[in-house]
Amino acid sequence: MTTRQSPDHPSAARRERVLREAVQRKLLDPEQALLAAFVDLDGVEASVTALHRAFPDSVHALHTFAAKANCLVPLLERLRHLGMGCEVASPGEFAQALAAGFDPARIVYDSPAKTRGELARALELGAAVNIDNWQELDRVDALLRTRPSRSRLGIRINPQIGGGTIGAMSTATATSKFGIPLADDGNAERLLAAYRAHPWLTWIHVHVGSQGCPPDLMADGVAKAVAFAEHVNDALGRRRITGIDIGGGLPVNFTDDTTDPTYTAYAERLRTHAPALFGGGFRVVTEFGRSLLAKNGFIAAHVEYTKTAGGRHIALTHAGAQVATRTVFMPEAWPLRITAHHPSGAAKYGDPVPQDIAGPCCFAGDLVARARPLPLLEPGDLVALLDTGAYYATTHFQYNSLPEPAVHGFTVDPDGTVHFELLRPAQTTDDLLPAVR
């Protein structure tokens, strides 16, 4: 993967300005702040605006943010102010969404392994719940017999239309662990009977996958859900299913600064595959995460040492598997662009030299890039891992008890003035130690 380092691109110039300011304000420091993550809050707002504009007013849509992509409460709170709901998949994410001020009615609870306690709390507060399997359906039914709920309730189906190029990100394969497989023998009839028997079942949920899944595959999965919802409504003679949760998962372009595919392009694919979604007959929920945040963030780390081995240049940095877990363990599926910078934060130019960009973890495979052509790095330089606003630093892997880095949000005024907002403080060594001895 070749890193495109053009000083003329607005995103590159913006990152360089932010890095320079971060160094000057010691948010990056060779002794005290070896590693930090940055989230472009202006970019987040632009992405949210683009999502809302992609769906016409004729679609009654609640766009929720998948908290797993970046669960920091200050960021979730900002997304709430931008008109987003929140999709959660664990008690921790549910608590973070509530702490960020989300109305439970604008929270969607997804998980394939919800406990009775989790379900009871979600139903008590009125959060939407997508039921994953037959046993969970029975569990929800039992809970509703003892207490009423305002929750929107639906069943997650697996349309079984196949996977994308990354198997781990594909959730609509024949044997996926998620949802009730629609094409398995007898399931369509059993689902129809479930909607007939439970008047509180009024939604249906589908999610085909994320990175590596082309938009047409995703739209085809949504079409299967829409067709089944229409089948249920026709069979029952009334609008039993009133809403469709189409999930999220729009893939991200990690090769350059272009946002591709766009929400508008995806909405057009949905209109082609599932025109009924735009007819006003169904309410819609979306659950985008990575596509809203990834390109609006980067991680910066100091180069501690450089060496050569077997003729290969190696830069030992402070960004490795602890913040780029997927890239380290699945480099072919999750390659990252990396840029080289002087200690001041200024972009570094020069003849590209193949270099391994290594992290601090104590295992040989802790590499965020292999033989990457970059200007030759030296101790004290900085490297930036681009397109890491989602997951990465906020989904920390505590190998070697390495601490979580600080995460800073930033905005840039028209005159170029940079403003930082601390979204998460850096974890200290003391934070890693037990409170009770």
CA-closest candidate to residue 221, choices 253, 193, 249, 241: 249
Please tell me the distance from the alpha carbon of residue 327 to that of residue 366, in angstroms, as a whole number.
Answer: 9
What's the total number of domains in the chain? 2
Angstrom distance (rounded) from CA 179 to CA 172: 9
In 280-435, alpha helices (H): 290-293, 325-329, 429-432
Q: Is residue 48 in a domain?
A: no
Does one domain contain both 279 and 374? no
One domain for residues 266 and 177:
yes
CATH number at residue 390: 2.40.37.10
In angstroms, the CA 361 to CA 320 distance is: 7
Same domain, 360 and 385: yes
Q: Are residues 222 and 143 in the same domain?
A: yes
- 405 and 377 in one domain? yes
Domain limit, last residue, from 257, 288, 319: 288
Residue 5: its pLDDT value, please?
46
Q: Does residue 3 belong to any structural domain of this protein?
A: no
Per-residue pLDDT of the chain (437 residues), as tens digits, is 555 445 556 889 999 999 999 999 999 999 999 999 999 999 999 999 999 999 999 899 999 999 999 999 999 999 999 999 999 999 999 999 999 999 999 999 999 999 999 999 999 999 999 999 999 999 999 999 999 999 999 999 999 999 989 898 888 899 999 999 999 999 999 999 999 999 999 999 999 999 998 999 999 999 999 999 999 999 998 889 999 999 999 999 999 999 999 999 999 999 999 999 999 999 999 999 999 999 999 999 999 999 999 999 999 999 999 999 999 999 999 999 999 999 999 999 999 999 999 999 999 999 999 999 999 999 999 999 999 999 999 999 999 999 999 999 999 999 999 999 999 999 999 999 986 65
Same domain, 219 and 235: yes
Q: 342 and 220, same structural domain?
A: no
Q: Report whether 240 contacts 202 (CB < 8 A).
A: yes
**How far apart are the C-alpha atoms of 341 and 304, rounded to whole Å?**
13
Residue 238's pLDDT is 82
Rg over alpha carbons for the chain, rounded to the nearest Å, is 23
Q: What is the pLDDT of residue 437?
A: 58
Q: Are residues 230 and 305 in the same domain?
A: no
Residues 158, 425: Cα–Cα separation, whole Å: 40
Residue 239, helix vs strand vs coil: coil
pTM: 0.95
- 82 in a structural domain: no
Answer whether residue 105 is part of any domain. no
Residues 270 and 332 occupy one common structural domain: no
Establish if 46 belongs to a structural domain.
Answer: no
Query: Domain boundary at 288, 317, 349, which?
Result: 288
The residue whose two tokens read 């380290």 is: 328
Q: Residue 173 belongs to what domain range?
A: 110-288
CA distance 200 to 197: 9
Whether 49 maps to a domain, the answer reads: no
Does residue 171 sit in helix, strand or coil? coil
DSSP string, 36-78: EEEEEHHHHHHHHHHHHHHS-TTS-EEEEEEGGG---HHHHHH
Cβ atoms within 10 Å, residue 53 = 11
Residue 68 is assigned to a structural domain of this protein: no
pLDDT score for 168: 87
For residue 79, tell me if it sits in a domain: no
Note whether 158 and 121 are same-domain residues. Answer: yes
- Do you know the residue count of the chain? 437
Q: What is the dihedral of CA 358, 359, 365, 368, to 10 degrees?
A: -70
- The CATH number of the domain where 257 resides is what? 3.20.20.10
Q: Which among 329, 330, 341, 260 has a CA at the least distance from the CA of 298?
A: 341
Domain boundary among 255, 288, 321: 288
Are 275 and 200 found together in one domain? yes
Instruction: Identify whether residues 136 and 186 lie together within a single domain.
Output: yes
